[in-house]
Amino acid sequence: MVTVSALQFACTDDVSSNVETAESWCLNFKHYSEICSIPYSITQNTFECRLVRAAHQKGANIILIQELFEGYYFCQAQMEDFFQQAKPRKEHPTIVRMQNLAKELGVVIPVSFFEEANNAHYNSIVVIDADGTDLGLYRKSHIPDGPGYQEKFYFNPGDTGFKVFQTKYAKIGVGICWDQWFPEAARAMVLQGAEILFYPTAIGSEPQDEGLDSRDHWKRVMQGHAGANVVPLVASNRIGKEIIQTEHGKSEINAFYGNSFIAGPTGELIAEADDKEEAVLFAH
């Protein structure tokens, strides 16, 4: 029996606070008691609860954090300055921190980051095993390019190919956001033996058309991957408004639409979040 978890939260433009949020969650004590099995009898004041630790307390073995969670989704605008956020994989401070956390709790954590590799830049994931081992790297293959999502300015197309990772608890495949629109990605991972698929994501409103909402389409496509390949699937997305200041003025995505979810092997929704609240989802 494997328990998976998807985290959902709003990012800020400060790396340290976002990494802390990925590890911590402020919520009322009653909610904390529900997650961590602590009696609700002391206080109703806010209480700090570790997001990853909360998932672990609930029995989660594999915990998914959203795409590029270290900061705002900077790809909504083209700014040379944002390349300064990229860091090499080796000794990356967030990866190291998550390695220590994974080892302490005995959980698997795919970690999304903006990778600098010599003169190239990638939207990448490392999969951290339950003993803190870095099991390997996947670089996002499909790179979108459109209003609000101008990733081709920042990221080279991934050169790793689709990969699976043998973790302590399951053999998993991890795609990144735009990869989820392509059925070949899911199929390639399952043909390599993936038992569960994971998709960290950053997707929301379309700046060029406020009436365009791809949320339900986004969910149905991934539910289809689960059903077509007969494997569970976990998707983690961010929430909130994010404004990027550019030399041409402000660029804004007014609502990342959350709706993180876990689908079963026939595509059925087992757990899902809404479009506004932080969430820790679970499924066995």
What angle do helix axes 93-105 and 15-23 make, rounded to 10 degrees? 10
Calpha distance 97→94 (Å, rounded): 5
Query: Among residues 140, 151, 195, 242, which one is catalytic?
Result: 140
| Active-site annotation holds for 177 | yes
Pull the structure tokens for residue 83. 């390349």
Calpha distance 211→263 (Å, rounded): 27
- Provide DSSP, 70-89: TS--GGGS--GGGGGG-B-S
DSSP state of 157: P
Calpha distance 261→270 (Å, rounded): 8
Asked whether 115 and 125 are in contact (CB, 8 A), the reply is: no
Query: Among residues 49, 70, 177, 242, which one is catalytic?
Result: 177
Asked whether 202 and 10 are in contact (CB, 8 A), the reply is: no
Pull the structure tokens for residue 138. 């996947």
Pull the structure tokens for residue 205. 């409103």
Query: CB 237: neighbour CB atoms within 10 A?
Result: 27
Query: Among residues 11, 49, 67, 70, which one is catalytic?
Result: 67
Pull the structure tokens for residue 156. 């080279």
- Strands 62-64 and 4-8, sheet pairing: parallel
* Nearby residues of 153 by Cβ (< 8 Å), 6 or more positions away: 75, 78, 145
Catalytic center residues = 67, 140, 177
